Amino acid sequence: MNFDTLLYDIEDNILTITLNRPDKLNAFNFQMQNDLIKAFDEADKDDNVKAIIVTGAGRGFCAGADLSAGARTFDFESRDDRSDKQGAVLENGEIDWSSPSIRDGGGLVTLRIFDCLKPVISACNGPAVGVGVTMQLAMDIRLASEEARYGFVFARRGLVPEACSSWFLPKIVGISQALEWVYSGKVFPAEEALKGGLVRSIHKADDLLNDAKEIALEITKNCAPVSVALSRQMLWKMAGADHPMEAHKIDSRGIFARGRMQDAKEGVTSFLEKREANFSDGIEDIPDYYPWWDEKEYS
């Protein structure tokens, strides 16, 4: 599969998505936004994809938004190349705050990752600032190269956090650490990211992708894809639940539904027979109680 701003490679049931604008430090633009959303759409439909790794080409992961439009970069109304962002200002000069024209592109990407059916691992190989780091917050396991650098630099650009990071970041690192990084807008090394809980581990640059693949293989070789898909959504969606009863409802439905299916029978039988399991259920076999949540509308 070919994309203008990404490389899309599948090997051993692992999809590696590589942000591929190395001459721009993989800066995020409108095309990359659309390519990422489409890539995750395609991955979700493909039973051959059982895990996803996201990394960057060249010496950076993602330098944040492409600033080539200069002072007009985030003034979408004034940009001839962003007709998708025009139409929020009404004839009387007031702004229609519910207009899809003002939706944040980074947020569209992280919301797509949030709904993904496959586990997602980020292998951050270099600088990751702005949307370069906030897009990683919706990924499940974050690995850092020794060369990685992170920065929630929005206030230093006169902006605010985006890509749903005001929801993700405090859940991952705690509110105090999140506020410190966002208030300061500083760029910090992988060691500080590890200490603050942003990343799982730090790796030598040459080992980063292989180490990420080892984690992915532990999932793809041993676990039922449908169970992983449901589990991913259970843990992410329950992060916003207001009572454990909400989790109990979904846990109960999941155990009941999966217990009747071939994967559960195979999982128990293979364990008793001391052999590797051969799970056969595919994404099309996800139980019909899924999705159990009401989709949120932009309003």
| Per-residue pLDDT reduced to its tens digit, 47-105 | 999 999 999 999 999 999 988 878 777 777 777 777 776 778 888 888 888 888 889 99
Assigned token pair, 127: 């600088």
| Cα separations in angstroms, 240 against 43, 73, 126, 255 | 25, 33, 31, 21
CATH (residue range 225-285): 1.10.12.10
Please give the pLDDT value at position 70.
82
Please give the pLDDT value at position 85.
67
Average pLDDT over residues 118-128: 98
For CATH 1.10.12.10, list the domain ranges present in the chain.
225-285
| Cα separations in angstroms, 275 against 66, 216, 228, 238, 272 | 51, 21, 20, 33, 8
Running DSSP on this structure, what letter comes out for residue 295? Answer: P
Share of the chain above pLDDT 70, in %: 100
CA 187 to CA 172: how far, in whole Å? 18
Across 175-275, where does the E strand assignment appear?
187-189, 201-203
Assigned token pair, 264: 């559960």
| Overall residue count recorded for the chain in this entry | 299
Please give the pLDDT value at position 124.
98
Beta-strand relationship, 51-56 and 14-19: parallel
For CATH 3.90.226.10, list the domain ranges present in the chain.
6-220
Assigned token pair, 163: 């890509």
Comparison of pLDDT for 167 and 76, the residue scoring more? 167
pLDDT, tens digit, 9 for 90 and up, residues 24-47: 999 999 999 999 999 999 999 999
Comparison of pLDDT for 68 and 14, the residue scoring more? 14
pLDDT over 80 at 135, yes or no: yes
Please give the pLDDT value at position 299.
83
- The three-point CA angle 224-226-230 to 5° equals 120
Assigned token pair, 157: 């650009």
* pTM recorded for the entire structure: 0.95
CATH (residue range 6-220): 3.90.226.10
